[in-house]
Chains A and B, each alone.
Chain A
Amino acid sequence: MRRFALFVLWCLVMTTPAWAQSPSVVGPVRSVSQQGLMLDLSLDVLAAAAYFSDQPNLNFGGHDPNSRGFTLENVELALGATVDPYLRADANIVFTLDNGESSVEVEEAYFTTLALPYRLQLIGGQFVTRFGRINPQHPHMWDFADQPVIANRLFGPDGLRNPGVQLSWLAPLPVYLELIASAQNANGETAASFLYNEGEVVGGYTLIARDVHHASDLLYMGRIRTAANPVDTMEMVLGGSALFGPNASDTDARTEIYGADFYAKWRPLSAERGFPFVAFQTEGMWRHYQTPGTPLHDRGLYAQALWGFVPRWVAGARVEYANGGDGTDPLRDHRLRVSPNVTFYPSEFSKWRLQYDADLAQHMGGKTGHAVFLQVEFLIGSHGAHTF
Chain B
Amino acid sequence: MTRWIMTVALLLSGSVLPLVTAVIPAAGAPLKIVTTTEDLASIAREVGGSSVEVQSLTRGTQDPHHLEARPSLILKASNADLFIEMGAELEIGWAPALLVAARNPAIQPGAPGFLDTSAGIEMLEVPTGRVDRSEGDVHPMGNPHYHLDPENGRRITDAIAEKLAALRPAQAAQFDANRKAFVQRLDHAIARWTAAMQPYRGARIVTYHKSWSYFTHRFGLQVAGYVEPKPGIPPTPTHLQQLIPLMKQERVTLILMEPYFSHDVPDLLARETGAAVLVLPPSVGGAEGVTDYIGLFDYLVGRLSAALARKATP
Contact = CB atoms under 8 A, between A and B. Distances in A.
Interface in B32-80: 59, 61-63, 65-66, 68-72, 74-75, 78-79
B31 to A, nearest CB: 17
A220 B70 contact: no
A49 to B, nearest CB: 25
Contacts of B92: 382, 385
A270 B259 CA distance: 7
Contacts of B94: 385
B260 A179 contact: no
B97 A387 contact: yes
Contacts of B199: none
Interface string B295-308: 00000000000000
A350 to B, nearest CB: 10
B7 interface: yes
A245 to B, nearest CB: 8
B63 A388 contact: no
Interface string B209-236: 0000000000000000000000011100
Interface stretch (A63-71, A135-143, A169-177, A366-374): A169-177
B96 A179 contact: no
Contact of B104 (A119, A168, A349): A119
B5 A119 contact: no
B272 to A, nearest CB: 22
B8 A220 contact: yes
Given A244-B3, A254-B1, A271 B260 contact: yes
B72 A5 contact: no
Interface string B1-43: 1111101111110111011001100000000000000000000
B69 A8 contact: no
Contacts of B2: 1
A342 B191 CA distance: 53
Given A1-B5, A5-B5, A115-B105, A385 B70 contact: no
Contact of A348 (B19, B79, B104, B137): B137
Given A88-B100, A347-B137, A387-B101, A216 B68 contact: no
A382 B12 CA distance: 36
A385 B93 contact: yes
Interface in A245-283: 254, 256, 269-274
B262 A311 contact: yes
B260 A121 contact: no
B103 interface: yes
Interface string A307-322: 0000110000000000
Interface stretch (B106-114, B166-174, B243-251): B106-114
B188 interface: no
A109 interface: no
Given A18-B105, A119-B104, A384-B97, A347 B133 contact: yes
Given A229-B70, A270-B61, A118 B19 contact: yes
B103 A116 contact: yes
Closest 3 CB pairs of A and B: A227-B71, A244-B4, A385-B97
Interface of A: 1-2, 4-5, 8-9, 12, 18, 82, 85, 88, 112, 114-121, 167-172, 174-176, 178-181, 183, 216, 220, 222, 225, 227-229, 232, 235, 237, 242, 244, 254, 256, 269-274, 311-312, 347-349, 380, 382, 384-388
20 contacts: A1-B5, A112-B100, A114-B100, A114-B105, A115-B105, A115-B108, A167-B11, A169-B103, A170-B75, A172-B78, A176-B74, A176-B75, A222-B8, A227-B70, A235-B70, A242-B7, A256-B3, A380-B133, A385-B97, A388-B70
Given A118-B22, A235-B70, A349-B133, 5 more contacts: A1-B9, A12-B15, A120-B15, A244-B7, A273-B234
Interface of B: 1-5, 7-12, 14-16, 18-19, 22-23, 59, 61-63, 65-66, 68-72, 74-75, 78-79, 92-98, 100-105, 108-111, 133, 136-137, 232-234, 259-262
